[in-house]
Amino acid sequence: MKNIDLPIILILTIISCSNDQDDLRTLGGDNFKFKEYFYKSFDPSSGEKMDSIKYMLTDEGKLESYSGTNNGTSISGIVNYANNNITSLESYSGGKLQSKWTYLYENQNLAEVLVEYTQGSTFMFSKTQYTYTEDTILVTQKSSTDGVIFDIEESNSKIILDDRGNRTYYEVGDSASQIEFDSNNNPISETHLFDSGMGLVPRKVDRITHLDSKNTLYEIYERTYGKQILMLTYHLLDSYIGRVNPKNISPNNVDTYEIDFSHIYSFEINNEIASNNYAVLNSYKTYDVPRSKIISHIEFSFIPRD
């Protein structure tokens, strides 16, 4: 899929999946009592708040709607469900429809994601299809200018999930990534590979450690989308270094994050944990090491139900 210039909520909500009540029993149960959460970004130089988005949750802890500001523009969105599956998301910017995501399922697996989005004054269309084989999931992405004929091929990739549903391998074109998980299903390393001309070889490794406390953001995502497609669409997240993307697939709160370019970037992560062992605040700062300055600061805060 082409890189679509959309607010952070849309980058996150391309992750969708079947999610029945049996899934919820494996999560926090009665201890998970949150009604909303906030995403905030801050100016790296002044520390002043730049963007603020409020996300409302259903009684089951799923995403319901959001509203706020992104890059100075008013944004909002509504999430729709049927039979415990997310079926569509409509996103608005400045009061105008910016995009619509529609999700189709087959045998309780995600079969297709259709995205209608604006590019300038023109509406464009993108379709991602998933084919399930015995040990590999094949992903095809095509785009269209009319929403009928999808003849512009974007990419073909493959994904492998282990027997715990964790994404261990992703390959597209001449690059790939391998993720190792701990016994609690947290990613502890991601190895990025590239084609050297003699096969795929490691290029860099990201390393992650975790606390024992529960990652509230991850649980909201799993309740909303389900683990399988969280893993299937991990590569579609915003790739900006300051996002600390492993947080999105970590059941426990991220404690440290290191990349092979640690002489260039470093990370400061702070977590505030409530008495029920869930995070009520996650803060992520990214530093430009050579210049000794913050280049990114984002924060998630979670509001319990009364």
CATH number at residue 192: 2.40.160
Backbone angles phi, psi at 191, to 5 degrees: -100, 125
Determine contact, residues 266/296, Cβ cutoff 8 Å: no
Which residues does the chain have with pLDDT short of 50? 1-11, 13-26
pLDDT, tens digit, for every residue of 1-53?
444 444 444 445 333 334 444 444 346 566 788 999 999 999 998 999 999 99
Determine contact, residues 139/14, Cβ cutoff 8 Å: no
Determine contact, residues 253/273, Cβ cutoff 8 Å: yes
Asked whether residue 267 is domain-assigned, the answer is yes
Cα distance between residue 148 and residue 94, in whole Å: 28
Backbone angles phi, psi at 41, to 5 degrees: -120, 150
pTM for the model stands at 0.88
pLDDT of residue 27: 60
Cα distance between residue 17 and residue 227, in whole Å: 8
Asked whether residue 77 is domain-assigned, the answer is yes
Asked whether residue 83 is domain-assigned, the answer is yes
Phi-psi region of 93 (alpha: psi -120 to 50; beta: other; left: phi over 0): beta
Asked whether residue 3 is domain-assigned, the answer is no
B/e letters for 268-289, b = 16+ CB within 10 Å, e = fewer, are: ebebebbeeebbbbbbbbbbee
Q: Of 231, 228, 157, which is closest to residue 187 (Cα–Cα)?
A: 231
pLDDT of residue 16: 36
Asked whether residue 127 is domain-assigned, the answer is yes
Range of the domain at 144: 8-304
pLDDT, tens digit, for every residue of 84-116?
888 999 999 988 899 999 989 998 888 999 999
Asked whether residue 2 is domain-assigned, the answer is no
pLDDT of residue 94: 85
Determine contact, residues 251/214, Cβ cutoff 8 Å: yes
pLDDT of residue 54: 97
Number of domains present in the structure of the chain: 1
Asked whether residue 201 is domain-assigned, the answer is yes
Asked whether residue 228 is domain-assigned, the answer is yes
